Amino acid sequence: EETVETVMISFLICNVRESITLMPFRLNGCYEALEGGNTAEALIDFTGGVSEPLSLDREALRLHSDQRRALCQTLTKVHECKSLITCSIWTVESVLECGLVRGHAYGITAVRKVRLGEKVLKRGGTSRLFMVRMRNPWGTTDWTGAWSQRSEQWQQLSRAERDKMGLVVRDVGEFWMDFEDFCQHFTDVVVCRLVERTLLWPRSRWREHLHPLSRCGGCINHRDTFLHNPQFMFEVRAKEEEVLICLQQEDRRMWRKNGKGENLPIGFEVLKVEVNRCSRVQCVVEQAASSIYMDSRSVTLRGTLTLGRYVVLPTTFLPGITGCFLLRLFSHSPPDVYAVVRCENDNVRTRVFKESRNPEFNLRTIFYRRYPNTDISVEVWDIPVPSHAAHKHTGLMGFLCSVVIYCSVMQAQTQQFNKNSGTAAKTSLCYFKICIVMCCIFIDLLFIFCFIH
């Protein structure tokens, strides 16, 4: 079996909630690949998060206030979880009469529900208003409608009243907008949910394996080959559970000079299987969920699944087309986790934390290292369902993540005489305390798979 190793590059990200500062890296190909692009793909590349595009039905939002309210509440919750939000108006780049630019990405930096004072109400309107704060990355505030920089609405509010309602502008290019006007003009919203990985993945590598047999079966329309695709099994343990599944393919822009830089049409199917199944699916019994197929770097599906066992099959649209992909699955429910600390041939396991969103492993342990430069690894595991003894053979053992600690020797190295070989072996005493906090901003990680089919 041939093995290929790919290094996962981490971008330098500073102060994510306030702003994103990126070190300029030239990764692949020429700078021509930076022209244009897709907002959802850029957010994934810069943050490692999960982007979820939202299409806005402007006509429905204009006619139904309850849909506007639901969308505003969704964006409010997303923003409170420190997720990044961008929006745009779908078409070629051009300027509208209201000052907004079509085909240009804006950032949403705040969502507010405010109660207006009597001065504003005298001019008409409602007492409660949903508002969003936008930012133009060009650094200009071109919006000329209600609540724009020099509008009459601002003239009727003092600085103290603005601060009390939270209607402040923090950065160059920011402006406020009535949410009803927002729904009238914008057509697309992209939400990037950040996954807190800094404490658990300070340095990461993906290990990928090339399989001698073809696993490129195509979408479910190709019944003869569909089940040849890679299959990943997971389990829903609650009565109902909302899950977020994200399938990503490798960046192919480096192949543009060879005429092969286009994305592959990708998607995935979710099949519900028997509760005790521990092997590959041989026939399609129940189709639980299905993503769209599109030639995008990332395809995302959010859905609610009931209690049971499921299999995810990531595929290309047509059979026989190979490519690298990353499959990620997220859930709201926190897992039952424990940590294992390993050093050479010794290991220590912590207690199990039951359904804890922020478990802290305050573990104090001591290791005697035969080789002073040996690294210490910390692994975080999810407890599998105990009734299935064959989990270790099916990939259902819930390995979540690992981190390598480069520990310095805290006591002087001592010489110990090895009676068997007659040589001197260096032994070091390593004494340390581990405190790992699993912080989950929005969702808790269940599995990460990386595979080449």
For 381-415, give the DSSP string: EEPPPTT-TTGGGTT-SEEEEEEEE-PPP-S--EE
Amino acid in position 387: S
Round to whole Å and give the CA distance between 411 and 393.
Answer: 41
Cα separations in angstroms, 90 against 121, 263, 266, 367:
34, 21, 23, 59
Catalytic one among 15, 28, 79, 136? 136
| Helix, strand, coil percentages in the chain from 3-state DSSP, rounded to 5 | 15, 40, 45
- Cα(444)–Cα(172) distance, integer angstroms: 35
Residue 345 falls in the annotated catalytic set? no
> Could you say which of 38, 79, 104, 276 is catalytic?
104
Identity of the amino acid at 11:
F
Cα 326 to Cα 298, 333, 395, distances in angstroms: 9, 22, 16
User: By three-state DSSP, how is residue 289 classified?
Assistant: strand
79 is catalytic: no
Two tokens at 211? 């399989």
Token pair 């964006």: residue: 75
- Tokens 């949910």 found at: 193
Tokens of 261: 């830089």
Q: Is 39 exposed, middle or buried (0-12, 13-18, 19+ CB in 10 A)?
A: buried
How many other C-beta atoms lie within 10 A of the C-beta of residue 367?
Answer: 19
Helix (H, G, I), strand (E, B) or coil at 303: strand
The residue length of the chain stands at 453
H helix count then E strand count, the chain:
7, 25
**Residues marked as catalytic:** 104, 136
